[in-house]
Structure 1
Amino acid sequence: MSEINVPVSESTRVYLNFSVSLEDGSEVDTNFGGDPVEFAVGDGSLLAGFERRLFGMTAGERKMFTVPPEDAFGQPNENNVQRMKREQFEDDIDLEIGLVFSFADAGGSELPGMVIAFDDAEVTVDFNHPLAGRTILFDVHIHRVEPAELH
């Protein structure tokens, strides 16, 4: 089978290595050094703001993108910071700032929340994505692009 140099677009399957870093250079996630991951454009594997930046890239290309919060994890929403009664947490839990709990949302899905303040009466939990409000550096190396209907 001959290699076709298909650009990333709607209805393509993409094989890539990536890293996600913050502006200070601290790495959040990477799969460089491992096998490429694959996804079909539009399948929800990548945030749309990341996916759009890949459009037009072809196999063998590597690029670094700066993704503003609006195209990444959004801006923090003050409505996602909730105060809860201390008695909703088990007595044997040593609360500390930065501790992440998993809560059930109204639909029964798991929702992570991070403790940002507490006292004897209340615990303040932030349900914003930890990367909300952050500009993300997205480093991508495309290995292969093919029409999605091959799968």
Structure 2
Amino acid sequence: MTTVVIAFCPHAGDVTMKSALKTAFAKEMAGARAAEAAGDMALAKHHLERAHILGQRWYGTHVKTHFQMLRLALKQADGKEVRGQLVRLIGAGPFHMAGWIPLGNTGGADVSATRPMPIPSDLQSHHEGHSLRNGLILRAVLVAALVATYLLVVR
């Protein structure tokens, strides 16, 4: 049973978000709320994009960021962004399960949801040691082991 949990873990080895990363994510989310309250929607989106970069390897924080982007888009009556966020919210689960996390992607509808992007220099330390390739290989091996185990049990 534990293998199933690990196989579909979005962060390939990091079971919990590190304290410094949690703090940085919370700071960006708070910055977005403050900017929105002050009426600066562009700055609010900027903070949400940075939060997306920080939180995208963890399903909960990833989805939370997209929900906030959707809420902001609805508030601005931005139809393109609303549609883009709905697509991203639907796709987040399957992409996480498959291990495809395009690092650096800002999460807005103005960029491809599958395109890795450069990570801002002040956020790079939070992504040290993460390897998309290794995460995909780990998932492939674990899924193959699960399928083999299932086939042995069923027969």
Shorter-chain TM-score bucket reads under 0.3
Bigger share in helix: 2
Report the structure number with the largest CA radius of gyration: 1
Structure (1/2) with the larger strand percentage: 1
Q: Per chain length, whose mean CA-contact separation is higher, i.e. which structure has more relative contact order (CA < 8 Å, sep 6+)? A: 1
The TM-score, its normalising length taken from structure 2, stands at 0.22
